[in-house]
Amino acid sequence: MNVSPQPFSPTITGKTHLLGIIGDPIEHVMSPLMHNQVFHKHNLDYIYIPFHVAADNLEKVIQGLRNTNLEGFNVTIPHKVAIIPLLDELDPLAAQIGAVNTVKVEEGRLIGRNTDSEGAIKSLVDNHVELENRRITILGSGGAARAIVFGLVTHSSNITIINRSRPSMDALIHDVRQATKVNLNGEYFGNADNVRTIMQNTDLLINTTPLGMSPQNRESPIPASWLHPKMAVFDIIYRPLMTQLMRDAKSQGCKILGGLEMLVNQGALAFEWWTQHPADYKLMKSIVTEYLTNH
């Protein structure tokens, strides 16, 4: 099926439902392409608009959006944490994570949710990656790592965070312990021998760092020799579709999963929450895959 983005002129009226995304920068985001093509394909009277919002303007913009007919919006870097005090209500999981990527507007009230966590877990489950009581290692301790960890702790308590700096790693470990009583392990990337040993005993490796993202396509957060065939590897990067880590893991006989499905899943969950229509996961994935393949 050819799903190349086609020029179209939606009929926008005063009844058209408005959605969007805020971030800085905003030019790279896939959400407008993904959502608007699906709205067009399924004849839904919605439009999704990207808004460039600098950090200094966040509070003013949110107050402005609250008083418009915008029905919901996504939140991307650097606003996922800073937006929380500006919201009226948080989903319990988003409150635990301490980050929001999706907001729904209901009668002027802003409700925050984190579909990154749900999207990541759905990607793993849909691809038959075993989670229950697995030994899981997560590279990085930023916002994406936080979202994924809080989704994983209901499946496994044997989780190790590996990071280049201690403050954010220690903060994540502390927050998980406080919220869930699960005591995560932590290791510093600089302790290579310890990290290598951890990898030898890892069932599922998840990379949440930007190492390997375009244009640094040949970079990988760990040496290929540290991977082994009994390990599943999930790299949440989606540009490129096949990262160096994934290539190395495939060559070592590992089961591999890239970030494309997480991107689609988190967007589809937001789509369903806002519109009350079932998301066309297959079409969403095809749209983004074709675009990324050709750009």
Q: Are 17 and 271 in contact (CB under 8 A)?
A: no
pLDDT of 7 reads 52
Give the mean pLDDT of 257-261.
96
Q: For the chain, give me the number of helices (H) and strands (E)?
A: 10, 12
To which residue do tokens 């967007």 refer? 267
pLDDT of 295 reads 85
**CATH architecture classification, 17-113+261-294:** 3-Layer(aba) Sandwich (3.40)
Strand locations in the chain (E): 17-23, 46-52, 70-75, 89-90, 102-106, 109-113, 136-139, 159-163, 185-188, 204-207, 232-235, 255-257
Burial class from Cβ neighbours inside 10 Å (0-12, 13-18, 19+) for residue 27 reads exposed
> pLDDT tens across 11-36, in order?
889 999 999 999 999 998 999 999 99
Residue 214 tokens, joined: 């375009």
- Give the whole-angstrom CA distance, residue 262 versus residue 268: 10
- Give the whole-angstrom CA distance, residue 18 versus residue 50: 11
206: Cα separation from own chain's centroid: 12
Answer yes or no: same fold for 17-113+261-294 and 117-258: yes
Percent helix, strand, coil in the chain, to 5, is 40, 20, 40
The domain segmentation of the chain, as residue ranges, is 17-113+261-294, 117-258
pLDDT of 254 reads 98
Residue 147 tokens, joined: 């979202």
pLDDT of 1 reads 46
Instruction: Check 15, 41, 60, 80 and give the catalytic one.
Output: 80
Q: Using only C-alpha atoms, what is the Rg of the chain?
A: 19
pLDDT confidence band for 10 (50 / 70 / 90): low
> pLDDT tens across 135-191, in order?
999 999 988 999 999 999 999 999 999 999 899 999 999 999 999 999 999 999 999
Q: Are 245 and 221 in contact (CB under 8 A)?
A: yes
Complete edge-to-edge strand list for the sheet that includes strand 185-188: 185-188, 159-163, 136-139, 204-207, 232-235, 255-257
Burial class from Cβ neighbours inside 10 Å (0-12, 13-18, 19+) for residue 273 reads middle
Q: Are 155 and 181 in contact (CB under 8 A)?
A: no
Give the mean pLDDT of 97-109.
94
Q: Is 80 a catalytic residue?
A: yes
pLDDT of 11 reads 81
pLDDT of 107 reads 87
Strand, coil or helix: what is 294?
helix
> pLDDT tens across 181-190, in order?
999 999 999 9
Q: Which is nearest to 172 in space by CA: 190, 185, 191?
A: 185
Give the mean pLDDT of 59-72.
95
Asked if the 117-258 domain carries CATH number 3.10.129.10, the reply is no
Q: Which is nearest to 249 in space by CA: 204, 190, 197, 192?
A: 204
| Global confidence as pTM | 0.91
> pLDDT tens across 211-232, in order?
999 988 999 999 999 999 999 9
Work out whether strand 102-106 and strand 70-75 pair parallel, antiparallel, or are unpaired. Answer: antiparallel
Q: Is the pLDDT of residue 5 over 80?
A: no
The average confidence (pLDDT) of the chain is 94
